[in-house]
Structure 1
Amino acid sequence: MNREKLMKMAGAVRTGGKGSMRRKKKAVHKTTTTDDKRLQSTLKRIGVNAIPAIEEVNIFKDDIVIQFVNPKVQASIAANTWVVSGSPQTKKLQDILPQVLSHLGPDNLDNLKKLAEEIQKRAPGAGATATAAQEDDDDQVPDLVAGETFEAAAEEGNAAA
């Protein structure tokens, strides 16, 4: 290092001019390991166990798929808790659909078909028919229980009060 550069660095540490005291506060760098340790202790308390040999996890949300390749998967069946950790990739359902179809069983394939139909209904070209169907559902009034009216229920409520 040359002398000018060293003097410039030393000058940045001082609070005032020449002869003044230097900073006493030391910069504290917080590590993220405390959060990780806290999470691991909570998971240990719940009683999660590692599930080995899972190569891929796909989470379906609307028309988006969150994909984890070679994740660390932990589960606690009693606590109904699943932990998937790794680096995620967000993809569109249309892009990943051919790849995912080979992994699904017959029950999940039906669920995926329903999801695809819902997405098509929300598509810009099919928006008018989906909106019309929703309006028809909103216009319908549910049937009352036989023999009961709103007035009778209100009178019973007032009598109880």
Structure 2
Amino acid sequence: MNREKLMKMAGSVRTGGKGTMRRKHKAVHKTTSTDDKRLQSTLKRIGVNTIPAIEEVNIFKDDSIIQFTNPKVQASVAANTWVVSGTPQTKRLQDVLPGVFNQLGADNLDNLKKLAEQFQKQGMAREGGAAAAQEDDDEVPELVAGETFEAAAEEGHATS
């Protein structure tokens, strides 16, 4: 390379005129603050309120749990919106289940049983088999012999 070419290249990276310092690296401007401000203004418009004294939030996914410790929780019942802010940790369901079981209490035990049944059904469905497909069909009730939907609807209108 010759000297003229080097001087030409050096001149193109200057931020000011002749004699000014070359820039060391390109400054990268972060836009997270503007995104955060936009989010906060949207949440304010919805009308979310902070819910105090929540120590832990667990979000159950397929075979893992997203766990927030000491999160900031905001909710708007009218907009059906919940906002959980904090540092999440993703853990396996098997590792966390005993600790979560102690927190649920007796009133949520039925919900935990339903969750376990769904988890088992998903496991059977993944293994494949006609038995799992037949169990899903049990959710739709059978019609009474000799009765149709139209006849039942007419009887309902006649009694009211």
Is TM-score (shorter-chain normalized) higher than 0.5?
A: yes
Q: Is the 8 A contact 1:121 1:127 kept in 2?
A: no
Question: Who is 2:112 aligned against?
Answer: 112
Secondary structure of the structure 1 residue equivalent to 2:103 = coil
Secondary structure of the structure 2 residue equivalent to 1:103 = helix
User: How do 1:30-41 and structure 2 match up within 5 A?
Assistant: 30-41=30-41
**Cα displacement (A) at 1:135:** 3.9
Using the size of structure 1 for normalisation, the TM-score is: 0.64
- Cα distance change on mapping 1:141 and 1:74 into 2, 3 Å: closer
C-alpha distance in 1, partners of 2:135/2:72? Answer: 46
C-alpha distance in 2, partners of 1:48/1:101? Answer: 30
Unaligned 5+ residue runs, structure 2? Answer: 1-6, 15-21, 153-160
* 1:86 aligned onto 2:86: yes
Q: How many equivalent residue pairs?
A: 130
**Cα displacement (A) at 1:104:** 0.8
* 1:134 aligned onto 2:138: no
**Cα displacement (A) at 1:92:** 1.6
Identical aligned residues as a percent: 71
CA RMSD of aligned residues (A): 3.5
C-alpha distance in 1, partners of 2:102/2:135? Answer: 38
**Cα displacement (A) at 1:121:** 3.3
| TM-superposition CA deviations, 1:110-138 (whole Å, max 9, x none) | 111222222233337x9356x42314655
Letter in 2 for 1:84: V
Unaligned 5+ residue runs, structure 1? Answer: 1-6, 15-21, 149-161
C-alpha distance in 1, partners of 2:120/2:92? Answer: 14
**Cα displacement (A) at 1:72:** 0.7
Q: Is the 8 A contact 2:121 2:132 kept in 1?
A: no
